[in-house]
Structure 1
Amino acid sequence: MMDRRQFVAAAGATLALPSLISAAAADAQVVPSLDTLAKARGMRFGSALGLGKPGTLEGGFADPAYRTLIAAQCGLIVPENEMKWGVLRPSADQFDFAPADRLVAWAKAHNLGVRGHNLLWQHPRWTPEWLTAHDFGSQPRVAGEKMLTEHVTKVAGRFADVVHSFDVVNEAIDEKTGTLRETSLSRAIGGTIETIALAFHAARQAAPRAQLVYNDYMSWAASSALHRAAVLKLLGELKARNVPVDALGIQGHIGSNGAGVATTLGRQTEEWRSFLDAVTAMGFGLLITEFDVNDMGLPADIAVRDQAVGELAGAYLDVTLSHPQVDTLMCWGLSDRYSWLQGTSPRADGLPKRPLPYSTAMRAKPLRDAVAGALRAMPMRAV
């Protein structure tokens, strides 16, 4: 089985850079671009873009062909990891803005907008080791509130002029139990709800014009019913507390699950529609923030696999984008060459996954056609 780094290295060995640039340049000229299609309906389209490890192509940014494709097809980007605590804050008393600043500067130079992801990842697995082990002293609530407020204020304040939308809190719910996750920080502050509320209030102060988003990965799969219910409960509690949440970010990681079973059989279209109706009835906006399609459980044949991925994506997007409150569609990468899914839940046959609109050679795939079709068919947004 290849991990993501090995996959990228293998692809690099078989595809010469000049040919990649030529392919990307050719497909970058596809008219209209995905962002143009989105704008025509009053929406925005973009993609995650990451620096990866220094000296590698792993995150995609170091690849000129990929930058060409992103700039041509997107109206905005979101840094893949560079605004997360694990990269941006290496210790309690140190911030490293250089990676995020580099991506933001590139976006501005290419007239692209930027989303912020994320100001707080409420998940112990992704909490930096230094924070998990941090001693909050004899007054942990005071110290915890100070640390979180400082973090949100510095990060949101630094990018407030360019970032129009922040994922303020990410993945606060345990999808298996429906309960709120705890971290060392939320335990110090005195509870997850209190921690979430503090993060949103601090973000509103630091970036008063930005859209403030709660982001999570509940899906239309039958296995996600408990997760969806828990998200609705959380949003209701935050609304009752007058926490300034503007929208729900729907990550949109669809396709096969960790057991290798294609969720085409487990999708709950009407339940998903009802969930989105309930979110919007509470007055929240919607975004698709991290869209891709995991093809782990689909056949090896590329044509068959690509067709199935495109059909599944089209069905999902048609339902989701039928809600005019969805104002943004972000893919979590544009080319299979730089998908995070290459390094997680590998296919049983060991083949690279094909989860994104463009191939490793930056060529448009049926998934690109499905996204374009959904953008053309969706209702016009209010402008």
Structure 2
Amino acid sequence: MTMIDRRGILAGSAALLAATTVRAADAPAGTLKAATASKGRRFGSAFAWSPAGADAGSFANPAYAALLRRDCDVLVPENQMKWQAIRPAADRFDFSRFDPMVEWATTNGFALRGHTLFWAYSRWFPAWLNNHDFGQRPAIEAARILDQHIDTVTKRYGRKIDSYDVVNEAVDPDTGNLRETSLSRAMGGTANVLDHAFRTARAAAPHAELVYNDYMSWEDGNAKHRAGVLALLADFRRRGTPVDALGVQSHIGLFQPTTDAGVVAKRLEPEWRAFLDRVTAMGYRLVITEFDVRDKGLPAAIGPRDRGVADFARAYLDIMLSYPQLGDVLAWGLSDRYSWLRGFEPRPDGEVTRGCPYDTDLKAKPLLAAMLAALAGGVRQVGQAA
């Protein structure tokens, strides 16, 4: 397979790297990873693959790599470990982009999370899996495909990856029911697929934390989604499915016009705490897996918008970090320049979203200060994975 040339990465853009170093120095005192470590946790971010020196949220971009080194001690692939990326056909795997990501991360001392072994949503299946002929014994064929995928990935990377989002987004947010897919139809139901995935992952990667990951959140309109996730977690416990933690994606957002994010957060807090209380009462740990802030309801002016984002994030993180069951805290990118929000959650006024701790010029924002304060002020984690 083709690897990114290391000398090309190191040669990169010296100007970009120097500029980022200056901007990091101008950031609030301390780093996100240091603030998180003070309470026994790890801080991290999603990162991507790109050609050497490309303007991307990639390890191969020297400017972005400098931010990763500054603030993170754990990384997660944004898209490069998903089925569409690494399994283009039933009989073929392609690790040509993810392998160099793993190599760079481990060489530079980062831990790694794996995202995801099974995204339970047909919309994000590779086309071949949606159209696969499961034959005369569909359950056996579906189990074979799933086993092959999980075994191939987990054994390839071994202990380099210590936590996996084994299953991602299995609950339909509109109904609270489990999503149906080609695999669930072949195996006699979605619950059978999910249980099989977790049991296979436990056998293949007994060292790793196994996470169910979803985007239920604290905003209005999430009640059915939260209820569906609670029901699924309860069913996992009832069936003895080996799930260690709930991954709380934490793509939080202000969607209606407001000038006081703190008031909104205070109103949302009771139901969100009730949800987290029920999750932790079942014995699950918590992981913040994809944190950022959607700012559609905030003013266009940068000053008020940044204050609103910071206030909303601080309130949310204070709640999450009050739970000793919370482990890793990961952002879904560090800079607005490369955030998925620009394409998937654009503002109606066309302004660039500002939901990451660093702006499009990789300069620190009020959100960074809010995150530092929240992370340093949280309770200490207990019950970490072995």
Assess same fold via TM > 0.5.
yes
Contact kept, 8 Å, 2:54 with 2:61, in 1: the verdict is no
1:376 counterpart residue number: 376
State how far apart, in whole Å, the 2-side matches of 1:91 and 1:314 are.
Answer: 43
State how far apart, in whole Å, the 2-side matches of 1:187 and 1:374 are.
Answer: 44
2:9 counterpart residue number: none
1:352 to 1:176, Cα distance in 2 relative to 1, 3 A: same
State how far apart, in whole Å, the 2-side matches of 1:337 and 1:19 are.
Answer: 17
Higher mean C-alpha deviation, range 264-273 or range 237-246: 264-273
**Structural mapping, 1:124-273, within 5 Å:** 124-257=122-255, 264=261, 265=264, 268-273=268-273
SS of the residue 1:78 aligns to: strand
Structure 1 residue 55 displacement after superposition = 8.6
Structure 1 residue 28 displacement after superposition = 3.6
Could you give the per-residue CA deviations for residues 96-124 of structure 1, whole angstroms, max 9, x where no partner exists? 11211111111111101000000000011
State how far apart, in whole Å, the 2-side matches of 1:54 and 1:193 are.
Answer: 42
Return the TM-score normalized by structure 2: 0.91
**Structural mapping, 1:1-20, within 5 Å:** 20=16
State how far apart, in whole Å, the 2-side matches of 1:204 and 1:362 are.
Answer: 39
**Match for 2:119 among 118, 121, 124?**
121
Contact kept, 8 Å, 1:41 with 1:380, in 2: the verdict is yes
1:107 counterpart residue number: 105
2:8 counterpart residue number: none
Q: Does 1:21 align with 2:17?
A: yes
Structure 1 residue 27 displacement after superposition = 3.7
1:317 counterpart residue number: 317
Structure 1 residue 33 displacement after superposition = 1.3
Paired residue type of 1:347:
R
Paired residue type of 2:340:
W
Paired residue type of 1:364:
A
Structure 1 residue 88 displacement after superposition = 0.8
Structure 1 residue 256 displacement after superposition = 3.3
Contact kept, 8 Å, 1:83 with 1:116, in 2: the verdict is yes
Structure 1 unaligned residues grouped into runs of 5+: 1-16
Paired residue type of 2:381:
R
State how far apart, in whole Å, the 2-side matches of 1:270 and 1:244 are.
Answer: 29
Contact kept, 8 Å, 1:249 with 1:287, in 2: the verdict is yes
State how far apart, in whole Å, the 1-side matches of 2:154 and 2:257 are.
Answer: 39
Structure 1 residue 225 displacement after superposition = 1.1
Structure 1 residue 345 displacement after superposition = 3.0
**Structural mapping, 1:294-309, within 5 Å:** 294-309=294-309
1:100 to 1:254, Cα distance in 2 relative to 1, 3 A: same
State how far apart, in whole Å, the 1-side matches of 2:91 and 2:308 are.
Answer: 49
Structure 1 residue 18 displacement after superposition = 5.6
SS of the residue 2:89 aligns to: coil
Higher mean C-alpha deviation, range 260-269 or range 126-135: 260-269
CA-based RMSD: 1.8
State how far apart, in whole Å, the 1-side matches of 2:297 and 2:51 are.
Answer: 30
**Structural mapping, 1:300-379, within 5 Å:** 300-379=300-379
1:71 counterpart residue number: 69
State how far apart, in whole Å, the 2-side matches of 1:137 and 1:294 are.
Answer: 44
Could you give the per-residue CA deviations for residues 294-319 of structure 1, whole angstroms, max 9, x where no partner exists? 11221111111101000000000001
Structure 2 unaligned residues grouped into runs of 5+: 1-12
1:33 counterpart residue number: 31
Paired residue type of 1:308:
G
Paired residue type of 2:81:
M
Structure 1 residue 349 displacement after superposition = 1.7
State how far apart, in whole Å, the 2-side matches of 1:18 and 1:246 are.
Answer: 43
Contact kept, 8 Å, 1:47 with 1:332, in 2: the verdict is yes
Contact kept, 8 Å, 1:23 with 1:361, in 2: the verdict is no
1:291 to 1:154, Cα distance in 2 relative to 1, 3 A: same
**Structural mapping, 1:40-79, within 5 Å:** 40-52=38-50, 56-79=54-77
State how far apart, in whole Å, the 2-side matches of 1:73 and 1:349 are.
Answer: 31
Contact kept, 8 Å, 1:20 with 1:361, in 2: the verdict is no
Return the TM-score normalized by structure 1: 0.91
2:95 counterpart residue number: 97
State how far apart, in whole Å, the 2-side matches of 1:164 and 1:346 are.
Answer: 33
1:6 counterpart residue number: none
Contact kept, 8 Å, 1:20 with 1:362, in 2: the verdict is no
Q: Does 1:280 align with 2:274?
A: no
With a CA cutoff of 8 Å and minimum separation of 6, indicate the structure with the bigger relative contact order: 1
Could you give the per-residue CA deviations for residues 118-155 of structure 1, whole angstroms, max 9, x where no partner exists? 00000111111111011111111110000001101111
Contact kept, 8 Å, 1:51 with 1:99, in 2: the verdict is yes
Contact kept, 8 Å, 2:294 with 2:345, in 1: the verdict is no
1:225 to 1:107, Cα distance in 2 relative to 1, 3 A: same
Structure 1 residue 230 displacement after superposition = 0.8
Contact kept, 8 Å, 2:59 with 2:65, in 1: the verdict is yes
1:116 to 1:261, Cα distance in 2 relative to 1, 3 A: farther
Contact kept, 8 Å, 1:335 with 1:358, in 2: the verdict is yes
